């Protein structure tokens, strides 16, 4: 019996590191609160956290300009997610980082036939990253690659995602 236990222990030592998967869920409740303004309550239930965020459009798009447009939040979400993970993983990888600056450029296009409602498509997203650090160049590269893989927003943009919709019609939820 002792021999067999010892053998199992050896096997465990040789086995690859155990993989852990943790769900990360955000929920948002949005309501119209102006001509184009939207107010959102965002919940992060796992931590009991709650946030208030709003968007609006300028007068050119029929709004009152009381808050940034949705694409400003989207642009910030991508850039800030990478910047957060650079700092989070710098600690984990023991790479000293003094400061981070990022320039993000997001390009979409609007395609309209005659007077029909327009359609939209992404064109390209670029990010210039400056990491202020005395660490060797190879460490900075490794940190950046790790931050990209650990950035929820960037990993989402890199996949084809399906957004599932339900629409309330005649008092019933209908899948679209």
Instruction: Report CA dihedral (139, 144, 147, 149) to the nearest 10 degrees.
Output: -110
Burial zone of 56 (CB within 10 Å; 0-12 exposed, 13-18 middle, 19+ buried): buried
Rounded distance between C-alpha atoms, residue 107 and residue 118, angstroms: 16
Residue closer to its own copies by CB (options 2, 114) is 114
Residue closer to its own copies by CB (options 96, 149) is 149
Among left, alpha and beta (phi > 0; psi -120 to 50; other), residue 9 is alpha
Give least dist CB 9 to its own copies, A: 17
HSE at residue 48, side-chain half, CA atoms within 13 A, is: 0
Give least dist CB 96 to its own copies, A: 14
Give least dist CB 2 to its own copies, A: 28
Residue closer to its own copies by CB (options 11, 113) is 113
Give least dist CB 98 to its own copies, A: 9
Residue closer to its own copies by CB (options 9, 141) is 141
Give least dist CB 172 to its own copies, A: 10
Residue closer to its own copies by CB (options 2, 160) is 160
Rounded distance between C-alpha atoms, residue 104 and residue 75, angstroms: 7
How many CB atoms lie under 10 A from the CB of residue 36?
19
Please name the residues in contact with 166: beta carbons below 8 A apart, sequence gap of 6 or more: 173, 174, 175, 176
């Amino acid at each position: 019996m002792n021999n067999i236990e010892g053998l199992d222990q050896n096997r465990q030592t040789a086995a690859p590191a155990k993989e852990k998967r943790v769900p990360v869920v955000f929920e948002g409740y949005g309501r119209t609160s102006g001509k184009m303004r939207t107010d959102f309550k965002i919940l992060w239930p796992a931590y009991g956290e709650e946030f208030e965020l709003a968007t609006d459009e300028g007068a050119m798009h029929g709004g009152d300009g009381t808050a940034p447009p949705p694409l400003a939040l989207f642009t910030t979400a991508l850039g800030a997610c990478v910047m957060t993970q650079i700092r989070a993983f710098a600690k984990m990888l023991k790479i000293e980082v003094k400061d981070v600056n990022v320039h993000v450029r997001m390009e979409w296009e609007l395609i309209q036939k005659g007077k029909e409602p327009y359609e939209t498509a992404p064109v390209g997203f670029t990010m210039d990253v400056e990491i202020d650090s005395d660490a060797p160049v190879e460490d900075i590269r490794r940190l950046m690659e790790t931050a990209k893989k650990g950035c929820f927003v960037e990993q989402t943009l890199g996949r084809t995602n399906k957004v599932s919709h339900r629409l309330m019609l005649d008092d019933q939820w209908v899948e679209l």
